[in-house]
Amino acid sequence: MVSLPALAHRADVAVHDLLSGVARRVGWTPVVLAHPGYGSDGRARVLGRVLLAPAGAHPEARRAVPGWQRFLTLESPRTEVTVELAGQRRTVVSDDDGLIDVTLDLSLPDAGAVPVVLRAGDRESRTVVHLASPEAARGVVCDIDDTVLVTGLATPLRAAWRTFVKPMSRRRAVPGMAALLHELTAGSPSVPVVYLSNGPWNLAGPLARFLERAGFPRGALLLTDWGPTPDRWFRDGQAHKRTSLRRLATDLPGVRWTLVGDTGEHDPALYEEFARAEPARVAAVLLRDVRDTSTRTARFGGVPVVYAPDGTALAGALPAAG
């Protein structure tokens, strides 16, 4: 018997295919949204999303719209996209959800933010790939909702209002978190920073602008795709974070990570799982406690853990490097 999530997934695909066919017939064509990626040592992970849009329009121009409108999009699966990076050109293809997530072997600078252009047809989008120094021995993985951006996931209605209705320009940063991340990345060039969230790719543009406006270090964005799958009503957010952490350990093998998150959902359990499985790859775990205003320490095996109510308190209790 076919499960209800499988039926929902089939319906979602059928509706999408129907609407996409109509859009193409009235002149809509593919357009790319490029998202910041990361890389090191001659390899670059390039990220983006391909949509259908009217001729002469670009989704990146739609800045002053509420979050819910950003879900009214038509993805363009299996679409050829040209990637231009460091004077080299490659052709890649979006996946069944219209996403670009490819790792390219190229001749690249040793480190720094390298411009990348993604082009579908005659329309393009620009971003950067953050190249970690081959000598980088430390990096930061940071959650977004309720870690750097006040969302209130513990109160679903309030979180929904903030996510889908409230303009990102009016959203608040968690106090002290930008300064904490700058402290964690100070003293060495091109320390990798990766913002890892269960948030949807639909909100990547507003999130990137929020991080810049709030003064956070620049870094890659690793988000996920919402919606039904053949076996689930929604994609598994825990699996997304778990897989992303393992891939970062593989892609940047010389880096020991400081994992920054919050206690509102699954960060403590996921970070503990990774720290116990890869203790040599984790320098510390820093958790913003959304329920307790005290500062306290613990350990996940041999990895130091700090709980505190905001970035300022976390910075004041940072474990000694070692």
Please indicate, yes or no, if residue 321 is contained in any of the structural domains.
Answer: no
- In terms of Cα–Cα distance, which of 107, 259, 241, 69 is closest to 180? 259
Domain annotation covers residue 237:
yes
Let me know whether 107 and 142 are in one domain. Answer: no
Same domain for 120 and 235, yes or no, is no
Is residue 119 situated within a structural domain?
yes
Predicted local distance difference test score (pLDDT) of residue 17: 81
Asked which of 90, 112, 129 is the last residue of a domain, the reply is: 129
Residues 296-319: tens digit of each pLDDT: 999 999 999 999 999 999 999 998
| The pLDDT value given to residue 149 | 96
176 and 204, same structural domain? yes
Predicted local distance difference test score (pLDDT) of residue 217: 97
- State the total domains in the chain: 2
* Same structural domain, 191 and 269: yes
Alpha-carbon dihedral 200, 206, 211, 213, rounded to 10 degrees: -170
- CATH, residue 180: 3.40.50.1000
Residues 168 and 249 in one domain: yes
Indicate if 47 and 151 belong to the same structural domain: no
Q: Is residue 322 part of a domain?
A: no
Q: Any idea what the CATH number is for the domain that residue 87 is in?
A: 2.60.40.10
Q: E-strand spans in 148-281?
A: 193-200, 220-224, 256-262
Same domain, 152 and 79: no
Whole-angstrom Cα distance, residue 174 to residue 182?
14
Please identify every stretch of the chain with a pLDDT value under 50, giving residue numbers as ranges.
Answer: none
Task: Look at residue 248 in the predicted model and tell me its pLDDT.
Answer: 97
Domain that holds residue 69: 4-129
Q: Which residue in 247, 242, 239 sits closest to 220, CA to CA?
A: 247
Residue 90 — left, alpha, or beta (φ > 0 → left; ψ -120 to 50 → alpha)? beta
3-state helix, strand, coil in the chain (%, to 5): 30, 35, 35
Residues 158 and 182 in one domain: yes
Task: Answer yes or no: do 39 and 149 share one domain.
Answer: no
Tokens at 20, concatenated: 């996409």
Examine the domain organization and report whether 150 and 278 are in the same domain.
yes
Do both 29 and 76 map to the same domain? yes
pLDDT for position 249: 95
